[in-house]
Homo-oligomer: A and B are copies of this chain.
Amino acid sequence: MAGNTFGEIFRLTTFGESHGTAIGGVLDGCPPGVDVDRDRIQGELNRRKPGQSDLTTPRKESDEVQFLSGIFDGKTTGTPIAFMVPNQNQDSSDYSHLQNAYRPSHADYTYEQKYGYRDYRGGGRSSARETIARVVGGTFGRFVLDTYNIDIKAYVSSLGDIELNQSYKELDLSAVEDNALRCPDPDTAKKMTDHILEVKSEGDTLGGTITCVINNVPRGLGEPVFDKMHADLGKAMLNINAVKGFEYGSGFEGTRMKGSAHNDRFYKEQGKIRTLTNHSGGIQGGITNGEDIYFRVAFKPIATVMKNQESITSDGSGTIIEGKGRHDVTVIPRAVPIVEAMASLVLTDQLLRQKIRR
């Protein structure tokens, strides 16, 4: 109801503000008896955390997760899994000058309009630090999906004007982690890196897109008419900070095709029903058909720029938002594990929902 819970059966509730005591979550509905690989959870958090390369903010946060419940002898018990990452390295005084000022294209003004009251330190609840809890929850989803061999892989497919021109089928997705940009093509990654350094020197920021591919998806997942697989994925992605668009399969480009060309023809191969093309993105009528799911997510440029910006305060008087602090030029590389985590939450939830019918 208040928007802090995601999922129907595999349900993640997150809590925490960027400069409060901790960021964390409660994952309810995780099946019992699942082996918990804590190193993998921490590994995913490390992919998300700041300071992991020259391309990201030098802010150092250890982001070590502590578990409070729901795990016994290294396995899930079926009861709620609560966890938290204490906030460190917060210097709230950094933000005192923002107490009454509204940063452009941030959530300062809207949070105040909604709640009448806001924790102005570092974005409070609207900070992307909240996604820490999603990464932890999503990794538990991975533990479940692994038993079905379902694999989720995301990568940077554009940065500003620089686009990766190959389709996911033409790329070696095992190379995503080979560079700090999480772009599987080394040449494009190099161009993107140069672009970031150039824009950084201008004190400006960049947006881009992330593509995500899901392999080995069981047939029959997705709940029409209102919880279609792609609708749940779309909502999951649109809830990530800075996301402005979502498309799956043929997406916006597919609107230019004619039906006879767009239709995916069925055939049978090795006893399995398949389609020759996959404009459907692995989903027909909101339900998976066994082909790869793939989708693309648009991220706007980061709103915090290293330039002075004119704005106003809560009483309407003019003010200058100074460009200072330690911030990323783009969220894209660090958003890759977040996109994967949200996809994992959706897939796990839909998988468990379908179990009721078997």
Contacts and interface: CB of A to CB of B under 8 A. Distances in A.
Given A279-B105, A300-B279, A254 B207 contact: yes
Given A110-B220, A239-B225, A273-B316, A309 B32 contact: no
A4 to B, nearest CB: 5
A289 B110 contact: yes
* Range class of the A interface residue count: 35 or more
Interface stretch (A40-48, A116-124, A165-173): A116-124
A193 B82 CA distance: 39
A354 interface: yes
A62 interface: no
Contact of A16 (B68, B116, B160): B68
A67 B231 CA distance: 29
Contact of A115 (B78, B107, B205, B255): B78
Interface in A226-253: 226-228, 230-232, 234-235, 238-239, 241, 244-252
- Best-buried of A20, A81, A82 by chain B (most CB within 10 Å): A82
Nearest to A350: B3
Contact of A219 (B8, B110, B221, B305): B110
A310 interface: yes
Given A3-B228, A260-B307, A22 B247 contact: no
Nearest to A358: B355
> Quick one: copies of this chain in the complex?
4
Given A264-B105, A266-B311, A309-B265, A258 B301 contact: yes
A312 interface: yes
Interface string A286-323: 11111000000011111111010111100010000000
A251 B297 CA distance: 10
Contacts of A325: none
B160 A256 contact: yes
B305 A259 contact: yes
Given A231-B234, A266-B311, 20 more contacts: A2-B223, A5-B28, A14-B80, A17-B79, A32-B117, A72-B124, A77-B124, A79-B115, A79-B125, A104-B263, A105-B262, A105-B280, A109-B266, A114-B287, A202-B258, A209-B255, A232-B235, A260-B309, A262-B300, A273-B312
26 contacts: A1-B1, A1-B11, A17-B72, A20-B68, A20-B72, A72-B124, A82-B84, A102-B266, A105-B280, A109-B266, A110-B285, A110-B289, A111-B287, A116-B357, A160-B255, A204-B259, A209-B255, A224-B239, A226-B239, A231-B235, A255-B300, A259-B301, A260-B307, A262-B300, A263-B303, A265-B310
